[in-house]
Amino acid sequence: MDLFRTKSVEQSINDTEVKEHRLSRELGALDLVVFGVGVIIGTGIFVLTGQVARDKAGPAVAISFVLAAVVCGLAALCYAEFSSTVPVAGSAYTFSYATLGELPAWIIGWDLILELALGAAVVSVGWSGYMDSLLASAGIGLPAAILNPPGQNGGVLNVPAVLIVLVVTALLVTGVKLSARVNEVVVAVKVTIVLLVIFAGLFFVKGANYHPFIPPSQANESVSGAAAPLIQVLFGINPVSFGWLGIFAAVSIVFFAYIGFDIVATAAEEARQPQRDLPIGLIGSLIITAVLYVAVSVVVVGMQHYTELSVQAPLADAFKAVGHPGFATVISVGAVAGLTTVVLIMLLGQSRVFFAMSRDGLLPGWLSAVHPRFRTPYRSTVIMGCIVAVLAGLIPLAKLAELVNIGTLFAFLVVSAGVMVLRRTRPDLPRAFRTPLVPLIPVLSILACLFVMLNLPLETWYRFFAWMVVGVIVYFAYGRAHSRLQPARDEV
């Protein structure tokens, strides 16, 4: 039983030219950069910066954002080499199939299904909350019955969350070029709002709020049970706030503000010049968002002392504290715009992973059908859109959100390992972009991902392993027997 049979890079690339599975190559480097910026900048830029400053790092939160960007940058360098060498839809799933084998590839694909589908559902629920706040500020109140899932605060169905998912799904079916154009307009709106907030906030910065820049370290109470971080369970290391240890502890939190850039790699088959455009999209979007995150964090701790920052809406409340509550509405507009593009790009990535797994036979083949007019994988897009809409409308998702994070980190780790494997097994492959300092960069990426994963709660690990067990069962029940590599194996 060969669970580690690999699909050659040449075969993967040849599959992209089969007429019934060929996607339209419409995206340039700018489109991919905007996709990356669109999915990375969400509510985190308006919420996470202040929360982490108050509870973990103090005014030095900007250092945490820089370090988190470095961690993501290590993984981005590995993704850039893989995606330019194997410009095929599926991202980490496709890369794993070419290096580690079929079962590891299936596990990664199954992991990405969880990450992207659940992530899109969680974000659409957040979009619903911000839209409700925006409408309320305009004097339009929505009843609780259509704002919450069943059994939560008198809810019946989260209608706005369902609607945004269905609208985005329809947009994705009609073509990746149209989706890219809509995405560019919305990203332009939200980046403009972020810049406006940054420059407006500079007028209210007080130098005294930056002192002490690195507050004295203080130990936090240990967390017990399944809510405890794995690093505490394994090594007895209790959480620490402030000081340099607090800055490093904050990295594991602000890291999640950057996740999503890897989705750029799922659009590899729709890039006009993937060998050039994909590395630009991956690394360019990460650099732009890192600059914006650092700027916002510097402004918010300068406007209001870090001990006084609010938990729910620190940036909006900082403007209220200096006598300008109108900026709260501006920030809500930015959040709505930001979350719209996050939902769009997560569903784009999800449908492409589904498409790639179906084309390889690990999922039913009819899912990989391409629309004759729009040249999009419309069946996988519609099915996943409907599933995400049901999740967003009916299920409370707050506790499951951390599964998105651990799924992303696991994919980062596998891609980093895959770069080293492919360098050894296929040194002859043409590489338009080469990860520098191999194996040092991939090893550092793996270690950084493991560090962040160790800071996740034990209950998140339990849920993750449960999902993986289900995935292995599905693989042996269906995927292994229907794999396109199965006939070749049986002939040997």
Q: What is the CATH number of the domain that holds 85?
A: 1.20.1740.10
The pLDDT value recorded for residue 312 is 66
Distance of alpha carbon 312 from alpha carbon 328, whole angstroms: 12
User: What would the pLDDT profile of 12-33 be if each residue is shown by its tens digit?
Assistant: 888 887 777 678 888 889 999 9
Which parts of the chain register pLDDT below 50? 489-492
Q: What is the pLDDT of residue 487?
A: 64
Comparing C-alpha atoms, which of 117, 32, 83, 24 is closest to residue 350? Answer: 117
| Rounded Cα–Cα distance for residues 407 and 419 (Å) | 19
Residue 400 pLDDT: 65
Quick check: 377 and 154 in contact, CB under 8 A? no
Give, in degrees to the nearest 5, the angle at Cα 347 between 178 and 113.
Answer: 150
In the prediction, which pLDDT does 1 show? 52
Decide if 386 is inside a domain.
yes
For residue 97, count CB atoms less than 10 angstroms from its CB and return exposed for 0-12, middle for 13-18, buried for 19 or more.
Answer: buried
**Residue 460 covered by a domain:** yes
- Classify residue 20: in a domain, yes or no: no
The pLDDT value recorded for residue 441 is 96
The residue with tokens 């940054």 is 198
Domain range for 418 = 27-484
- Neighbouring residues of 446: CB distance < 8 A, sequence distance ≥ 6: 413, 416, 417
Residue 270 within a domain: yes
Question: Within a domain: residue 318?
Answer: yes
Run of H or E including 241 = strand 240-241
Which residues are 241's β-sheet partners?
Answer: 218
pLDDT of residue 321: 85
> How many structural domains comprise the chain?
1
State both tokens at 425.
């097994």
In a domain, 341, yes or no: yes
- DSSP element (H, E) containing 61: helix 61-85
- The predicted structure's pLDDT at residue 451: 87
pLDDT at 352: 87
pTM given for the model: 0.86
Asked if residues 110 and 357 have their Cβ atoms less than 8 Å apart, the reply is: no
Nearest CA among 196, 58, 120, 11 for reference residue 392: 120
The reported pLDDT for the residue numbered 491 is 40
- Pick from 289, 272, 253, 257: nearest CA to 36: 289
At 429-452, the pLDDT tens digits run 889 899 999 999 999 999 999 988
Question: Cα dihedral sign for 406, 351, 175, 392?
Answer: negative
Q: What confidence score (pLDDT) does residue 322 get?
A: 85
Residue 351 lies in a domain: yes
CA distances from 364 to 111, 188, 258, 357 (A): 18, 38, 33, 9
163 belongs to a structural domain:
yes
